[in-house]
Structure 1
Amino acid sequence: MSTINGRVSHWFDKMPSLRPRLPGDRDADVCIVGAGYTGLWTAYYLKKADPSLRITVLEARFAGFGASGRNGGWLSGLVPGDRNRMAKTYGRDKVLAWQRALNQSVDEVIAVAESEGIDAGAVKGGNLEIARNPAQAARLAASVAEERRWCNDVTELTKEQAAQRINIDGLVSAYHSRDCARIQPAALAAGLAEAVERLGVTIHEQSAVVEIQPGRAVTRTGTVRAPIVLRATEGFTPALPGLRRRWLPMNSSMIATDPIPARIWDEIGWQGRETIGDTAHGFFYAQRTVDDRIAIGGRSVPYRFGSRTDRDGQVPARTIRLLTEVLHSILPQVRDIPIAHGWCGVLAVPRDWEAGVALDRTTGLGWAGGYVGHGVTATNLAGRTLADLVLARNTPITELPWVGHQSRNWEPEPMRWLGVRGLYIAYKLADRHEANGRRTTSPIARVADVITRKP
């Protein structure tokens, strides 16, 4: 059987039936642009708080078409930003509150899915972070200390303890963090869309917004007029007028295997359904899926010139080969298992790599996003935050440091293409450097880190 390439993602076992497009001009109390996690969570919490609100969600394709239906399925407490840098600006206590709120949001998502009857395949097995050479092990040890400084529950594991969880080849060291669950991401997005519709929210798919202005969102088939218009477009934001350089659409790719036989799972383990990541510069992320496949991802082609996005998730064949090599390297037990599907999608990266949530009460325009790949959980917190901002409620989450945070625009082309491509080439070289036995982080990566994080 040949590998399926694209068709949005493996998480959609079949394409959903499309909801009707916007049939003409409409009025609403709140208009949300984008039916991914951010837009859907915002609609959910708004409607729960005030059932009288008329809420319309506009979506260019279908609910979950973007990163919400293509990601690695890590429902984790990962912060979409640099905690130490944010602490210098906003104070450690606020950033610590942000971290705690994200950790709590893992359980919030699971609880809502259960209460709404959404079968998202959630298993809170935590995350296993691994190192496979001395330089990676040094970074992993530093990461353990860093997580503990931010009061996160992490447990260092010996090679033997880690192997009892998952029999990973070439393991040097590992740690386990508690606040992470495996999910089927498209199932969560689709279920959440159905839940908000049951509450009375109107979703119009096939309704790409071509312009957002105070009081209105314009599509080719009509305009929604509303005093509050919220942008929740993440990696597709640069396609909107005036926002070409606002966020960079970073590309991430994935593959999924055929279902793996029980005898091979007996060799691998992975009974806890932990997610797995590593401390390489060109890192991978993986999960054991609901239907007993392995899905693994990374960033082989990180950016397309001019902030272009993919065509329905189609990924270069060389990327499928590269991710397959990574999978076989860490789990040689599956070397004879065919790869069923390869796909990709975009996530949004602000220039300072810090996500934000905001509402301008003067114009009625709001937005949330820039999750730098850590959005599965952060979108829930962002949706609750936007709901509180719209309802003018001062709550602990409206005081978190990402509320109102702004980053400057990215450089014009060709500078951003050259910069991003150059940085990822540097990280690949650094990984090769470290794989040859270097005991500390490659100086190539240290220089790239400084450039990457330059505000």
Structure 2
Amino acid sequence: MGAPVTAPVSLWFDQLPAAAPLDPLDGDTQADVVVVGGGLTGLWTAYYLLEADPSLDVLVVEAEVVGFGASGRNGGWCSALLPVSGDELARLHGHDAAAAMRAAMRDTVVEVGGVAAAEQIECGFAFGGTVTLARNRPQLERVAEGVSTDARWGDESHLLGADGVEEHVRATSVVGGSYTPDSARIHPLRLVRGLLDVVLSRGARVAEGTRALRLSPRAVVTDHGIVRARYVVRATEAWSAHLPGSGRSVAPVYSHMIATEPLPPEVWAQIGLDRAQTFTDARNLIVYGQRTTDDRIAFGGRGAPYHVGSGIRPEYDQVRATAAHLAHELVDLFPVLERAEITHHWGGPLGVHRDWHPSVGLDDDGIGWAGGYVGDGVAMTNLAGRTLADLLTGSDSELTRLPWVGHRSPAWEPEPLRWAGITATRKATTWADRTEARTGHASRWSGLLEHVLRH
């Protein structure tokens, strides 16, 4: 039997009973499609492949347990966000392609909710939207610019004054903000487990505790045998950096989260979020939060160290200093939480391409891939799964013509340049936020960071 997860992974794992482990691969086998990675990308791919052709033999292999990676650790935002802007998409791919991609992302949020309802997956899906807080003038300027940009691409986004923000959430020092309805709150591991049950019921095979050692055309070599298949799909996101030949394709950058104890009604009366809105603010170093299905606040942020050589280790998942920083930032937003107990802290790597541009595709040799979600993967994995299913079954659909299909990001710099660049960018981002909070003026670092992060 596959080994169950025993070490703390996330709040989401702690809230669900341990799943019965699935057997690892038992020697060499064959399949029509082998998907490497048992997260949301892999499960959505299996789901839509079997929807398109129920006769397909689909095998998913997972090194740990299903949902062990970002799919079971993320902030529970199912949003239309992309790490690359509509304007950047238009510069790279043209106006019509950018508009199509933005529309596809909005539709994807609806699709996830629709599948959850149709398949009776109780994952706490709530279409509460996202409110973005501006807590100083530079942040307000960024929010206003974002609302203007959204309008150019058909995204519904509303600029709010301080009073308008208070209708959604009540935080300190708010001078304005924005609201978009194109976002939902979910319990991510419940979505993972629900999808797993569905694909298993439809004939997919899922092998846990089976580590892929090498991907090649028509075959995957694992530590439990070789899988021969017509198509091979790489759905390993941050862990792609550890596959032979992919070491510079993606950088595993850590994000961390904390969660409070369940909060009483009188505390929620002071905070808001009564429609399950997700929330963030417009600082340069991203933070994000949600009101969970059991009335906690789950709150996360970037800024954890990047580890030289694209390191991914269990000891990097929990960093007390990072958890303490997040707790401080949460109380700064909501002072009523000063005495609230922090019951969980966790983290994990997310996949970042050198140009921050996610991609999905299928090579002529039969190897498919998807990834580079930069933390926005809950919805993007669904779009990737639908797109991969169309590519693998030969469907000439609107999805296969989206601009992220076949996009090739440049390779990351070799070490130690990669570590130096990512570390310097993280520190500069923190410095920019401190400068803006202190002076009330936009930091000159903001423009430089945009250039460094995108090129």
TM-score category (smaller protein): over 0.9
Residues 230/372 of structure 1: CA separation in 2 closer, same or farther (3 Å cut): same
AA aligned to 2:419 is: W
Paired residues of 1:38 and 1:380 also in contact (CA < 8 A): yes
Aligned residue for 1:399?
A: 401
Aligned residue for 2:198?
A: 195
Aligned residue for 2:288?
A: 285
- Return the match for 2:86 from 80, 83, 86: 83
AA aligned to 2:234 is: R
Say if 2:42 is the partner of 1:10.
no
- Using the alignment, how far apart are the partners of 1:226 and 1:6 within structure 2? 34
Residues 391/241 of structure 1: CA separation in 2 closer, same or farther (3 Å cut): same
Paired residues of 1:7 and 1:314 also in contact (CA < 8 A): no
- Using the alignment, how far apart are the partners of 1:266 and 1:40 within structure 2? 38
Aligned residue for 2:141?
A: 138
Paired residues of 2:46 and 2:199 also in contact (CA < 8 A): yes
- Using the alignment, how far apart are the partners of 1:171 and 1:315 within structure 2? 30
- Using the alignment, how far apart are the partners of 1:452 and 1:98 within structure 2? 21
Residue 17 of structure 1 deviates from its aligned partner by: 2.5
Residue 312 of structure 1 deviates from its aligned partner by: 7.1
Q: Under a length normalisation based on structure 2, what TM-score does the superposition of the two structures give?
A: 0.96
Residue 45 of structure 1 deviates from its aligned partner by: 0.4
- SS of the residue aligned with 1:226? strand
> 444-453 vs 192-201, which deviates more?
444-453
Say if 2:386 is the partner of 1:387.
no
- SS of the residue aligned with 1:227? strand
Unaligned runs of 5+ in 2: 1-5
Q: Give the aligned length.
A: 448
- Using the alignment, how far apart are the partners of 2:334 and 2:366 within structure 1? 51
Say if 2:306 is the partner of 1:303.
yes
- Using the alignment, how far apart are the partners of 1:197 and 1:178 within structure 2? 33
Paired residues of 2:256 and 2:317 also in contact (CA < 8 A): no
Aligned residue for 2:320?
A: 317
Residue 47 of structure 1 deviates from its aligned partner by: 0.4
Say if 2:453 is the partner of 1:452.
yes
Say if 2:163 is the partner of 1:148.
no
Aligned residue for 1:426?
A: 428
Q: Give me the CA root mean square deviation.
A: 1.3
Paired residues of 1:153 and 1:178 also in contact (CA < 8 A): yes
Q: Looking at both structures, which has the greater relative contact order when contacts are Cα pairs under 8 Å and sequence separation is at least 6?
A: 1
- SS of the residue aligned with 1:11? helix
Residue 18 of structure 1 deviates from its aligned partner by: 1.5
Paired residues of 1:310 and 1:344 also in contact (CA < 8 A): no
Aligned residue for 1:113?
A: 116
- Using the alignment, how far apart are the partners of 2:282 and 2:165 within structure 1? 15
Residue 131 of structure 1 deviates from its aligned partner by: 0.7
Paired residues of 2:256 and 2:348 also in contact (CA < 8 A): yes
1:247-258 alignment runs, 5 A limit: 247-258=250-261
Aligned residue for 2:101?
A: 98
- Using the alignment, how far apart are the partners of 2:176 and 2:123 within structure 1? 31
- Return the match for 2:266 from 263, 267, 276: 263
AA aligned to 2:199 is: V
- Using the alignment, how far apart are the partners of 2:199 and 2:368 within structure 1? 20
- Using the alignment, how far apart are the partners of 2:159 and 2:75 within structure 1? 24
Residue by residue, what CA displacement relative to the aligned partner does 1:81-104 show, whole Å, maximum 9, x if unpaired?
Answer: 232222122111111111111111
- SS of the residue aligned with 1:321? helix
Say if 2:130 is the partner of 1:127.
yes
- SS of the residue aligned with 1:108? helix
- Using the alignment, how far apart are the partners of 1:344 and 1:233 within structure 2? 17
Paired residues of 1:77 and 1:179 also in contact (CA < 8 A): yes
- Using the alignment, how far apart are the partners of 2:152 and 2:183 within structure 1? 18
- Using the alignment, how far apart are the partners of 1:233 and 1:108 within structure 2? 23
Between the two proteins, what is the percent identity of the paired residues? 42
- SS of the residue aligned with 2:439? coil
Paired residues of 1:73 and 1:182 also in contact (CA < 8 A): yes
- Return the match for 1:68 from 68, 71, 74: 71
Residue 122 of structure 1 deviates from its aligned partner by: 0.6
Residue 29 of structure 1 deviates from its aligned partner by: 0.5
- SS of the residue aligned with 2:131? strand
AA aligned to 1:12 is: F
- Using the alignment, how far apart are the partners of 2:120 and 2:286 within structure 1? 34
- Using the alignment, how far apart are the partners of 1:222 and 1:199 within structure 2? 24
